[in-house]
Amino acid sequence: MTIQWFADWLLPVGWGLYIALLVGWIILQKRGPVATLSWILLLGALPVLGFIVYYYFGPQRLRRYRLRRLRSRAALSAQEASAQQQEAGQRLPAAWYLLSRLGTVTSDAPLSTAHSATLLVGGETKFKLLLADIREAQQHIHLEYYIYEPDITGRELLDALVAKAREGVTVRLLLDALGSVRTHRRFLAPLLQAGGEVAYFHDPRIGRRLRPVINFRTHRKIVVIDGRVGYTGGINVTDDGHEARSKNAHRDVHLRLQGGVVRWLQMVFLEDWLYATDQRQPPLEEMDVLLPACEPGRIRSQILHSGPNDERESIHRVWVAAIQNARRRVWITTPYFVPTEPGMMALTSAAMRGVDVRVLVPERSDSLIVTAAARSYYDELLAAGAKIWECPGNMLHAKTMLVDADGSWIGTANFDNRSLSLNFEVCAMVFHAPLAAEMSALFEELLLGSRQIEIRRPQTWPRRLFEAGMRLLSPLL
């Protein structure tokens, strides 16, 4: 009787309460309808396992109120540079000017200028220049990386930082706690002993907070030296990104900037540093050193940043707007291509109106699931007139976009939901024809060794089902 009563009454009632509480909890997150429904279906189908997965990996609310004072300082810096920004804006075509305004409203970082914007192809080139700049540092060196490995490349960079810290230069190193999980404080002890500072972003270990942060990683790669030289792009600190040290090194690019735009890269680092270390804003006299005034340059540029704490989704919005306004071309390089619905609509619409839309992805990324999800979008893109290439060999890890003759984007964000919604990302938007020409030449060079996907061969039923299933999970990837 007891078992029958349990089966007839208690189990259905308990199941109903579980589903009701579950639906309410997820809906209150106010995420996208597709992602919300995906999580509800997952948790409903797997009541215990699904709850555990959602608890650790599901969407969370992240607020960073302590950064507002730093934002107000950024506003003051913007006023100080207003003449420079107005001059830069006046020289922009109308379409680019409106795009830069969108970036300003969504990123709180206004249009600025640079004296130089150097494209760095491969880790060997990047680290050679970076180490040279570090040796010339006089005041401070700020670094933020998703992956920092304790290998040859990591040791070489650490030794350079230790040497500068011993000279009295302020060295701050911010690492993502999950991406750099192998880089323990024991490895970094020489830097700490020399007076350097180290912090970890979002420790995912159980017990560190009520609900561990597994998502919400800082995927940013930022270096700022003396507030005047800045680096960003896709290259992490690892032998896997250094072609002279690994035969399987990723094919990647980075950007070295000099000039006023660097202080907005500095702002991104400082906010992340204060958040990770739970510190207050530095005194104004220190901010004056960290954000030095620079003479206007000729290269119009802007720093975009986005993260799960900011619903404005700056990088996502600017990318979609740029694609929608493109007249001649949209060339995208990304290791993970799992477009959002607005991104997919913008790409197919651009292709349909005759824009040269090209997407270059790895033949095999380091995730079978993401590769399958990406291929599920091919048929729709090809039908709209877009062109797709798969790059074989070492993994293509560059994250770039070219729009028309002089619009370039280089940064840390992939063309996928995780980068645009769940990770902290940063991207440099540069309006400069010579840089766009360099990126265009590199893109076409990569195409020479890649396979164009013109007509997809009929796929087996299990493979089609797998790709379609991974596409269904794309809001969660």
CA torsion, ordered 117, 300, 263, 413, to nearest 10 deg: -70
Q: Where are the beta strands (DSSP E) in 207-271?
A: 222-225, 229-233, 253-258
Which is the catalytic residue, given 164, 202, 397, 432? 397
Residue keyed to tokens 């934002």: 71
Which is the catalytic residue, given 219, 242, 250, 316? 219
Tokens of 250: 């990723």
Q: Which of 257, 269, 218, 228 is nearest to 126 (CA)?
A: 257
Degrees, nearest 5: CA angle 88-93-99 = 80
Which is the catalytic residue, given 316, 399, 406, 416? 399
Q: Which of 425, 75, 363, 47 is nearest to 217 (CA)?
A: 425
Q: What are the two backbone dihedrals, phi and then psi, of residue 294, each rounded to the nearest 5 degrees?
A: -130, 150
Catalytic-residue membership of 226: yes
Instruction: Give the integer Cα–Cα distance in Å for 36 and 59.
Output: 9
Which is the catalytic residue, given 404, 406, 416, 432? 404
What 3-state DSSP class applies to 171? Answer: strand
Q: Where are the beta strands (DSSP E) in 162-289?
A: 170-176, 197-201, 222-225, 229-233, 253-258
Instruction: Give the integer Cα–Cα distance in Å for 106 and 431.
Output: 18
Tokens of 349: 């619409």
Burial class (CB in 10 A: 0-12, 13-18, 19+), 456: exposed
Catalytic-residue membership of 133: no
Instruction: Give the integer Cα–Cα distance in Å for 229 and 301.
Output: 14
Instruction: Give the integer Cα–Cα distance in Å for 27 and 24.
Output: 5
Catalytic-residue membership of 397: yes
Catalytic-residue membership of 399: yes
Just list the catalytic residues.
219, 221, 226, 397, 399, 404
